[in-house]
Amino acid sequence: MCHNYGEHSTQTSTSDAVTFTTNAISVDELKALFTTHDPLTGLPARSLFLDRLEMTLATADSAGTTCALLVLEVHPVLNEGSPLTQSAEDEIVHAASNRLASFVRRSDTLARTGYMLFHMLVSNIRLDTDIHFIAQKILELFDSPIDIADKTITVRASLGICAYPCDGGGAVLVKNATRALELAKKAGANEYRIFQKQWPVISSESKALVTVE
């Protein structure tokens, strides 16, 4: 299993992220940087993620290995009538990205692709049990609340997963992972679903075996 996940967080947290010290670069360089990286988190943005997706699938083809695409959405748990400010939401996104970045390996890609949406490419998946281990560890990252300003916010996550090459490639792979994410969201907080039918999915809370249809 992937026991090397999370063991080198100080290295992996900066492998894809960019720390923006904008006074050292020109406006044109800054514009170019923002087309590939998310300005809030420093993570790869959608355009760079799509490039990495193509490269990761090509590498998997050459090596004859399996890789996984994970789509994660973060959900702050709020009391009715207590909406978050924009800055508070940004703080949650930033904190969530830091937790996720502390977990991924150098060989993987973590990208911010929506407001509270992240895509993760995980290479060299060897066993079906690997992806369950990874999914459960990712959801556990959000067991503790996030402190922002004078508030402590409980955050939950939903996770959809599919594998290459068995679940398609390119846009089809992204679509299937997104479909699995929607199933996880319908199942409730802190759940994950795997698109591939032959893999059983273990609920992170109930531990009941279910199957994605």
Q: In which element (H, E) is residue 111 found?
A: strand 109-112
Which tens digits make up the pLDDT trace of 68-116? Answer: 999 999 999 887 667 788 888 999 999 999 999 999 998 899 999 998 9
User: What pLDDT does residue 114 have?
Assistant: 92
Which tens digits make up the pLDDT trace of 24-75? Answer: 555 454 444 457 889 899 999 998 999 999 999 999 999 999 999 999 999 9
User: What pLDDT does residue 7 have?
Assistant: 42
Which tens digits make up the pLDDT trace of 125-149? Answer: 887 778 899 999 999 999 999 998 7
What are 210's strand-pairing partners?
201
The CA distance from 209 to 121, in Å, is 25
User: What pLDDT does residue 96 have?
Assistant: 96
Q: Which residues contact 67 (CB under 8 A, 6 or more apart)?
A: 56, 57, 59, 60, 121, 122, 123, 124, 125, 163, 164
pTM score, whole prediction? 0.78
What are 67's strand-pairing partners?
164
Which tens digits make up the pLDDT trace of 139-189? Answer: 999 999 999 877 889 999 999 999 999 898 999 999 999 999 999 999 988
